[in-house]
Each structure stands twice: as C-alpha cells, then as structure tokens.
Structure 1
Amino acid sequence: MKGPQVLVTGATGFVGEAVVFRLLLDKKFAPVAAVRASSRLSGLCRVVPFDLDLPIGMPVLEEGGVVVHCAARVHVMNEAAADSLAEFRKANVEGTVRLARRAAESGVKRFIFISSIKVNGESTVRNVPFKATDLPAPVDPYGVSKHEAEVALWQISQETGMEVVVIRPPLVYGPGVKANFLSMMRWLDRGVPLPLGAIDNRRSLVALGNLTDLVVTCIDNPAAAGQVFLVSDGEDLSTSQLLRRMAFALGKIARLLPVPARLLSVVASMIGASGVAERLCSSLQVDIQHTREVLGWHPPVSTERALRQAADHYRDKEAR
C-alpha cells in the first residue's frame, strides 16, 4: 500500500515534473500532479488543474498528505510589467499563501517549499559560502518574493501546526534543462569561441537528480520539519571548469579565450549585459553541511554523471 498523497505543484515544469517521475519510480507515495495545462503525466498519475495566479480552483488536498510546492513565477526575460515586484508577489507570495492556508485547513501534514538561493543573496566571497543560518539578503524581485513567501509560510505553520520545510537550490541542471544552461550547451556543441577561459570564480550547482532526491527525503523524514535546507552537488566549479567539463560530456573541446574578468565586466556594462557578466564571473557557493547533518543526506549523483545525463538528453533532442 502506498504512503500519503503528495501533491506536486508546477508538475509541468523542469523540477516539478522530475519530482513526480521520481515519486512514481519509488512507488512509496501517491503523487498528484497539479498543473496549469495539459501534461505528459496524464495516465501515469492523478492530474489536477492548478493556477498559482488564480484565487479560485484550489486542488482538493488529502488530510495527512504532503504538498511539494514547485510552481512559481520565475525569471522573465524582457520583463514588460511596470511593477515587476508586484507581479512576482502576486504569484510567489499571494499564490503560495492561498495554497498553504488551503493545505492547513485540509489537514495536510507537511508543506515543502522550493524556494531559491537568491533569498540568501546574489553572490558570495570566494570560499565563504552561504549557510542556511545566514540572514536573508535578497536583491532582485524574484528573490524578494521567495523570501516573503518563506516568512508567510513560517507564520502559517506557527498558527496552524502544519509542518513547513524550505529548500533553497542554486542553479538546477540536468536532462531537459533550458534557459542559459541550454544556450551554453549549444555554444559548446557548435564550437563557438567564448571569452571565459580566465574566470576563476566558484559556483555551486545542483543536479536535478540530487534536488529531487532531497525533496523525496524531506517528505517523510521527521528531522526535516521546520528546517531550511541549502542543496548542491557538493562540488563547486569555476565558470571555465564548468564549460570544459560540459564540453567533454558533449564530446567537444571548449574553445575558451583567456579574457580577464575585469575587461569582460567593462565590455558587458557597455552593451547592457552587466547582469550576465556578474553571473558568469562572480562566485556563489552554498554550504550543505547542515543538510547533511540533519537529514543524513548526501548528493547521490556526481557532477560528472549529471553533466553526462544533460549532454545525452541534449544530443537526443538535437538528433530528432
């Protein structure tokens, strides 16, 4: 007999869908996929409609069940909204609060919130990683909205007794990754020369398999209740190292030009791409010792294996 119902929001997204597939594979829980539109999960598990932006149509939740809340308004390229923060708050704060209160009223035991390392901040001093106990210091509207959602969830937990678990991942990569990581794979695959050979920063990443493993661990581990967990692969890479290792996984050679980071920043500022340069050149490291100690958890997927999985999926898609 399967364990409690686990409702996963954002189940058509990169992380949410992977969580559902992992739950189906484990066969330990009864996953329910909450989605805005059609999903390839139909027929594999129960699928229910859910829209984070709408105050109506909250899914029916099972007493004693668990919610894994992955749905969110994420980074928007070419933001058109006059008040970006207001739009992020509408979905990521107000929508999360509606769902959490509905969950508490329904007798849901645990609410797992997929937040973001941006709650801690945008960058770290090299080899001085973020910790779960650090004071939040979000900068951009997305990070601010995730922090505000966390604060609201702790309040709801205090009022209702529903257990809350917060997970703050850095950049997530793996099979099917999109956005900047996908662009990077395309550049490497096509042999595009990149002026990033002299970048000596340190960045923490988390493989999709490692993040989903932590999420599943948090579903029924008693020690997870009331905790904030940072997560990564446990191995930090410079931008140059990441590019070389990703190229190797693709069977290519990274063509990296040793342009000084300071010159890159100047040029990027001149063309209005200072934000991109900051992410490529700065460090962002996370300390997962707290996660390891509290849960007895370790990342099961190595960086090498995860990069290979992402590369294999990319090649399969490109071959079609």
Structure 2
Amino acid sequence: MRILVTGASGFVGRALAERLSRDVRYQLRAASRNVSVFPPEIDSCFAPSLGSNADWHQALNDVSAVVHSAARVHVMNDTADDPLVEFRKANVDGTLSLARQAAAAGVKRFIFISSIKVNGEGTKPGHPYRADDMPDPQDSYGVSKMEAEQGLRALASETGMEVVIIRPVLVYGPGVKANFRSMMSWLRKGIPLPLGATGNKRSLVAVDNLVDLITTCIDHPAAANQTFLVSDDEDLSTTQLLQRMGKALGRPARLLPVPASLLQAGAAMLGRRAIAQRLCGSLQVDIGKTRELLAWAPPVSVDDALRNTARAFEAG
C-alpha cells in the first residue's frame, strides 16, 4: 500500500515519513520542496507549490492514501497585505486541487492534517472542545483550515473518496521550534519566569502520538469520513508544563508566582495579548471520540515525550 505524504520535510511530515519508512505494511512516497533531506532509499518527489494549478499527477501514481500535512502555517506577525487571501490560496485552493487529483487518480483515502484553530482559540477550564462542536475559527489560518475541511467533505460526497480530518493541538517533540523551544532555552539558562501561578489547562500532543494516530487512520475502517481531535490526554497548566520540562532537562524551573491576571494585564498594555492567552489561557480537547471509534490511546506519556524532546534539544 503506497502512501503519499506531503510536507514530508516539515516537523510532523518528517516524523510521519520516518515512521512509515520503517513499517513493512506501507510503501512511502515523500513529497517535499526539499527532497535533499531524504536518503536515496526513500521514494521522494519534488512537491509543487500549494495552489489551484499545482500538478500532482506523477506523485499520485499508484498511491492508495494521501496524508496532506503541507500547509501555509500560522505565524504570529504575518506581513501579507491580506493574510486570508494567502492562506486560502495554499490551504484551501491547494488542498482541494490535490484532493480532486487524488480522487481522479483512484486514491481511496485522503487524510487532512487540520488544526484545533478550527474549533477556536480557547476554552473555559473543564469545558473542552469536541470533534463535532460547531467550528469557531478566530483568525485567517483557522478560517482557511475550516474552509478546506468543508471542501473536502463535499468532495468526499461527490467522488466516494474517503476523507479523514485530524485537528491537532500544539505539537511538540524532538526538533520542535518556536515558543516551545524558547521555553526550553529559558529553562536551560536558569532564567526566572513569572509563570509560577497559572491555573490554566492546555492540551498538547507529542509528535509521536500524533504520528501514531495518523498511521492508525490510514486504513482503519471506522476512520472514514470522520473528524478527530488528538492530544496526549493529559492537560497541563503552563506552570506544570515548565516544571516537568525542567525536570526532563535536569534543570529545575525557576518560577515566580505572579498572578495570571497581572500577566494578562501587562501583556495587554504591551500589545501582547495573544502571547498572554497562550501562556495563561486554557485550551482543552476531549479525545473521547478518537479513543472510542478507533480504539486508540496515546502510546507515549507526557513525561517520556518531554524527555525525548529534551534529549534532542541538548544534543542539537
């Protein structure tokens, strides 16, 4: 069974490609704009730019399933004149063009890596998002992912190609970048952080857990035409995350018990409200549907995942 993985040199795509390349059940075809990262034994191909005119004909030859992880990703300070237009070109037009070509090529299943941002930006503690909640995206990236999901469901109805949608929360693991890596850098340097009194709850997902779910969805009969949320199934406050990350790094976190309300007020004054929301706000997901429908559970614990992440961080 040949699997095409798009975005195969990205954080999630590369971890998935490595997993599939070791699985005797599957033949991997890795599509990327940077094929030089793959060894010669990997069947890799150059991926066209995401857009409505992209030609995926050769990449889709003899493919049974597509895992589409390539995307124009969310950035904190987008410089595009109209971010929604740019997100739609890649994440909506590009996704649906690939999916239409996949259906025409006889691909049986199309797995779309979406985002929890389709659900929204935050939850009240104890009131997690569920897979079948009404979408409520708050930014251009989330809107584009929602519109791609809607287009894929319509395409599935028209063509009979099965569509599986997976909405991850924040993904971490070896090689993680952005804010997660910054937090590890602060802890390693012993910098005191004013995050010792957050009472929030946030769902995270280790990249190994996400990859395990994607692999499960490749041929699980119950996954067809379903939407799944995914997490480690253990929600942490920012304070707890830093404490356990510090333990994984062997450098106890130096956390100051500043009330979250003061942090949020200060961030608002500095125009950093979104950062404060990520550090102090809650975002929880309920993966009950994922567990029950697929008989799936995260195989890697939070502490093991943090240790793996810390080892790669120290080594790199």
> So what's the TM-score if we normalise by structure 2?
0.97
Match of 1:49 in 2: 46
Residue 156 of structure 2 aligns with which residue? 157
Distance in 2 separating the partners of 1:303 and 1:59: 40
Q: 1:23 to 1:264 in 2, by over 3 A?
A: same
CA-CA distance at 1:59 after TM superposition: 4.5
Q: Residue by residue, what CA displacement relative to the aligned partner does 1:124-160 show, whole Å, maximum 9, x if unpaired? A: 1101111011011110111110000000000110000
For 1:305 and 1:75, the matched residues in 2 are separated by: 28
2:251: which partner in 1?
Answer: 252
Which shows bigger deviation, 140-149 or 266-275?
A: 266-275
Larger displacement relative to structure 2 (115-124 or 60-69): 60-69
Residue 64 of structure 1, CA deviation: 5.8
Aligned to 2:9, which of 9, 12, 15?
Answer: 12
Identify the residue that residue 261 of structure 1 maps to in structure 2. 260
How many Å separate the matches in 2 of 1:59 and 1:204? 38
**Counterpart amino acid of 2:34?**
A
What letter is aligned with 1:5?
R
Residues 44-83 of structure 1: pairs in structure 2 closer than 5 A: 44-54=41-51, 55-60=53-58, 61-63=60-62, 65-83=64-82
Mapped partners of 1:113, 1:142: distance in 2: 15
| Partners of 1:165 and 1:218 within 8 A in 2 | yes
- 1:120-135 aligned at under 5 Å gives the runs 120-135=119-134
2:21 is aligned, of 19, 24, 31, to 24
Over aligned residue pairs, what C-alpha RMSD do you find?
1.1
Equivalent residues of 1:34, 1:48 under 8 A apart: yes
Alignment of 1:212-227 (within 5 A): 212-227=211-226
Give the corresponding residue for 1:239.
Answer: 238
- The amino acid across from 2:182 in the alignment is S
Secondary structure of 1:229's counterpart equals strand
2:301 corresponds to which residue? 302
Task: Work out whether residues 6 and 32 of structure 1, in 8 Å CA contact, stay in contact via their aligned partners in 2.
Answer: yes
Q: What CA deviation, in whole Å up to 9, does each residue of 1:7-33 have, x standing for no partner?
A: 000001000011110001222100100
Q: What is the total number of aligned residue pairs between the two structures?
A: 314
Q: Could you tell me how far apart the structure 2 residues matched to 1:267 and 1:44 are?
A: 53
Tell me if the contact between 1:129 and 1:287 (Cα under 8 Å) persists in the aligned partners. Answer: yes
Question: d(CA) in 2 for partners of 1:26 and 1:221?
Answer: 16
CA drift at 1:58: 1.7
Separation (CA, whole Å) in 1 of partners of 2:109 and 2:72? 22
Shift of 1:179: 0.7
8 Å CA contact 1:65, 1:108 repeated in 2: yes
Q: Which residue of 1 aligns with 2:90?
A: 91
Distance 2:57 2:243 in 1: 45
Please state if 1:186 is matched with 2:185: yes
One-letter identity of the residue aligned with 2:91: N
Q: 4+ residue stretches of structure 1 with deviation over 3 A?
A: none
Residue ranges of structure 2 left out of the alignment (5+ in a row): none
The residue aligned with 2:30 is 33
C-alpha distance 177-59 of structure 1, shift in aligned 2 (>3 A):
farther
2:227 equivalent in structure 1: 228
Q: Secondary structure at the match of 1:26?
A: coil
Could you tell me which runs of 5 or more consecutive residues in structure 1 were left unpaired when the two chains were aligned: none
Q: Deviations over 1:246-294 (max 9, x none)?
A: 0000000101111111110111111111100011111100001100110
Answering whether residue 307 of structure 2 is matched by residue 313 of structure 1, we say no
Q: Percent identity?
A: 59
The TM-score, its normalising length taken from structure 1, stands at 0.96
Q: Tell me what 2:165 maps to.
A: 166
Mapped to 2, the partners of 1:157 and 1:89 lie a distance apart of: 20
CA shift for structure 1 position 105: 0.4
CA distance in 2, matches of 1:59, 1:33: 14
CA distance 1:57–1:64, shift in 2 (3 Å): closer
d(CA) in 1 for partners of 2:291, 2:92: 29
1:38 Cα offset (Å): 3.1
Determine the C-alpha separation between the residues in 2 that align with 1:226 and 1:38. Answer: 31
Give how far 1:51 is off: 2.8
Instruction: Judge conservation of contact 1:52–1:96 (CA < 8 Å) in 2.
Output: no
What CA distance in whole angstroms lies between the structure 1 residues aligned with 2:57 and 2:305? 34
- One-letter amino acid of the counterpart of residue 187, structure 2: L
